Amino acid sequence: MPNPPTGFDHGLTLDTAQTILRETLAEGRRLGLAPLTVVVLDQAGQLKGLLREDGSSLQRPAIAHGKAFGAIGLGFGGRELARRSQGMPGFMNSYSDLLGGSAVPVPGGVLVRGEGGRILGAVGVSGDASDKDELAAVAGIRAAGLEPDTGD
């Protein structure tokens, strides 16, 4: 495969996504969380990677994806989406409907920011309480040398 043109913006690389996935699950183990599922999306909302721990329940991949997809779609971390869901339920319901029901506006959907605060993608984690899911995502993003944005 030829090299991309000079100056090509790689955004969130596969290597970086794999680090986030691996370190998010490692943090879940360190914290003693229930089995987790983690999803990494790029800046276009496309799947870069998904890992589901043994024992993670059936719909966890869809929930983790919904947390990340909702965040990347509006450019806000899950905590801000949760606040907006409380303050503007009609809008957030419509937003989720527009995405085919794929937006989950709760903590655990974390934006990945790079140099200058640019959004590179989003991470969604599901398996434990949303606040704990978020802790694991934040650790994974930081382990990759990037800045997590939870919406706070």
Quickly state the pLDDT bin for 100 (edges 50, 70, 90).
Answer: confident
Residues 72, 88: Cα–Cα separation, whole Å: 18
pLDDT of the residue at 11: 83
| Residue-range definition of the domain harbouring residue 108 | 20-149
> Domain for residue 14, yes or no?
no
pLDDT of the residue at 3: 52
> Domain for residue 1, yes or no?
no
pLDDT of the residue at 97: 87
Amino acid identity at 64? A
Q: DSSP letter at 144?
A: T
> Domain for residue 10, yes or no?
no
Please, are residues 114 and 147 in contact by the beta-carbon 8 Å criterion? yes
Nearest of 80, 76, 68, 5 to residue 37 by alpha carbon: 68
> Domain for residue 112, yes or no?
yes
Quickly state the pLDDT bin for 10 (edges 50, 70, 90).
Answer: low
Residues 152, 148: Cα–Cα separation, whole Å: 10
Provide the number of structural domains found in the chain. 1
> Domain for residue 13, yes or no?
no
CATH number (domain holding residue 83):
3.30.450.150
> Domain for residue 109, yes or no?
yes
> Domain for residue 94, yes or no?
yes
| Averaged pLDDT for residues 36-55 | 97
pTM score? 0.91
Half-sphere exposure of 23 (CA within 13 A, CB side): 18
**Whether pLDDT at 1 is above 90:** no
pLDDT of the residue at 9: 54
> Domain for residue 48, yes or no?
yes
Instruction: For residue range 104-132, list pLDDT tens digits in order.
Output: 999 999 999 999 999 999 999 999 999 99
Q: Which residue has the tokens 């970086």?
A: 16
Please, are residues 97 and 4 in contact by the beta-carbon 8 Å criterion? no
